[in-house]
Amino acid sequence: MKIVLLSLALASSVLLSGCVVSVGGGSDSHYGADWEDREFNNRKHIANLETGTSYESVLRKMGVADFNELFEKQDGTYRVLYYRTQKTMGDGITTKDECTPLVFRNSELVGWGDSAYSLMH
């Protein structure tokens, strides 16, 4: 009887060993298969932005940014939202150089892109 139970326990552990199923795959799998769509949509939304748009309005349209910064200068409070718009490395990690910065002063969009960001400094 002990031999039968031992054999059954051994067989069940072999038969019930798990398998791993990969969904999405690729180096950008944390975005699923839609990372290209996400970048395209971000570029499309950014292309339709206008200066003077409120921070809240842009956030509603664009969603959560990949990165953000907030700092004070003499002429106001600056907030920078970074949205992924192009892939530079296939490592699955979004970096700021893969993003387009949107620059707000006192909750109003004043520009976007690297040139707008560099003008703040």
Domain parsing of the chain, residue ranges:
52-121
pLDDT at residue 93, rounded to an integer: 85
Q: How far is CA 43 from CA 9, 73, 110, 114, in A?
A: 57, 28, 17, 14
Which tokens belong to 100?
């387009």
Q: Would the pLDDT of 22 be above 70?
A: no
pLDDT at residue 119, rounded to an integer: 82
What distance in Å separates the CA atoms of residue 111 and residue 12, rounded to the nearest whole number?
63
Mean pLDDT of 65-74: 96
Chain position carrying tokens 């002990």:
2
Q: Would the pLDDT of 90 be above 50?
A: yes
Q: Is 49 helix (H, G, I), strand (E, B) or coil?
A: coil
What is the value of pTM for the model shown? 0.71
pLDDT at residue 16, rounded to an integer: 43
CATH topology of domain 52-121: Beta-lactamase Inhibitory Protein; Chain:B, domain 1 (3.30.1450)
Q: How far is CA 42 from CA 16, 65, 71, 121, in A?
A: 44, 10, 24, 25
What distance in Å separates the CA atoms of residue 91 and residue 46, rounded to the nearest whole number?
25
